[in-house]
Amino acid sequence: MELLDDSIVPEEARAVKQEAREFAAEHIEPNAEEYFERGEYPWDILEEGMEAGLVGQSISEEYGGRGLSLVEMLAIAEEFYRADAGIALSLQLAAFGTNILEEHGSEEQKAEYLRPVAENEQISGLAVSEPDTGSDMAGMSTAAEKDGDEWVINGEKYWVGNGVEADWVTVYAKTGDDPDNRYGNYSTFIVPTDAPGYKAEHIPEKMCYRASKQAHITFDDCRIPEENLIGAEGAGFYMVAGFFNHGRTVVAGHGLGLAAAAIEEASAFVHDREAFGRTVDEFQAVQHDLADMRLEFESARSLAWRAAEKVENDDYPGYWAALAKTRATEAATECAETGMQLYGGRSVLEENKISRVYRDARVPVIYEGANPIQRNLIYRQAPR
């Protein structure tokens, strides 16, 4: 069974897709169950990924990376997430938020902060969501105020990948209070994790993505130099929104990998298990379930790869990214649910991969903008 074949993948992404497949087979899949049980950050696998040139490499060659394109990042995502979502997310988040800095930052900022990530000397993070606010990016309350030649940040951020592990994070904070310009009230900042007033702790253990760590960050008069503002004051909303167009397209790859894993696990199980004198796959109802899983997966994958091209060409990127993210992540939840049903009672055993896929598939429908919000974007940004 070859669900993630490269016939639909642009030629430019096929080589790195093969690299990702080989890496996942050697380093991710064999360690997935152990890391799920331990719930620890996979530092050793992250280091292997760095050495393989598969971590943080969307950063351009000018600043030390490989300059991987959006379609190459999508190719990596579907291979990594098929192997294990928790480890895959840790590998992906090691350079999270760097695209914002590369596109909008100064040359001095890029030299100091971007290049070390590209050269695998540091890891980064992105802090947007808050304990009481997730999808409403114009409703965040964490604020930054100018004080002489410094910015002083106060507030909280939640669900921050690498909030503890990172060397620095890109922080989205309120810098204005104009009720007639909600989207112009926010800016982005580079915040070193050793800055005074920065405190981060891991969010208590999760039921899924256990090899990926998210943090609760508290800013208590956290002071950073004024030159750590990224780009123009008040442009933060638009920076992050543009970043999410690329991010959501890659998240479609998360869904595709999870859906493929669910199909593989369920199909292998029903072909090997016997009931009522024949193998389970001989029952028409089971065949229909497997057919429905394929329908979900193949339609989502076709849309995701089309969307990647559209986003990369800046052709209604918000619309296409929302379509791909929504369709692929919901395909993952549908395939995981059906896979659990076909697996029967053994599906609940943690030793079986389908149980981990089922848990993990519940998450991408929420992060990088919950899918109901994506439907808003699809309607509002659709070509007219």
Other Cβ atoms closer than 10 A to 158? 18
In the residue annotation, 368 being an active-site residue is answered as yes
Give start and end residues of each alpha helix (H) in the chain.
Answer: 11-23, 32-38, 43-51, 70-83, 85-93, 98-104, 107-109, 115-118, 236-272, 284-312, 317-343, 353-360, 371-381
Per annotation, catalytic residue among 79, 264, 296, 368:
368
Say how far apart CA 101 and CA 119 lie, in whole Å.
16
Say how far apart CA 63 and CA 111 lie, in whole Å.
7
- Are 192 and 126 in contact by the 8 Å Cβ rule? The answer is no
> With b meaning 16 or more CB within 10 Å and e meaning fewer, what string describes 66-102?
bebbbbbbbbbbbbbbbbbbbbbbbbbbbbbbbbbbb
Say how far apart CA 269 and CA 280 lie, in whole Å.
9
Say how far apart CA 259 and CA 331 lie, in whole Å.
6
The radius of gyration of the chain from alpha carbons, rounded to an integer in Å, stands at 21
Q: How many residues does the chain have?
A: 384
Encoded tokens for 281: 């796959």
Question: What distances in angstroms separate CA 295 from CA 7, 225, 251, 288, 382, one per listed residue?
Answer: 17, 53, 19, 10, 24
Burial class (CB in 10 A: 0-12, 13-18, 19+), 2: exposed
Helix (H, G, I), strand (E, B) or coil at 38: helix
Residues with catalytic annotation?
Answer: 368
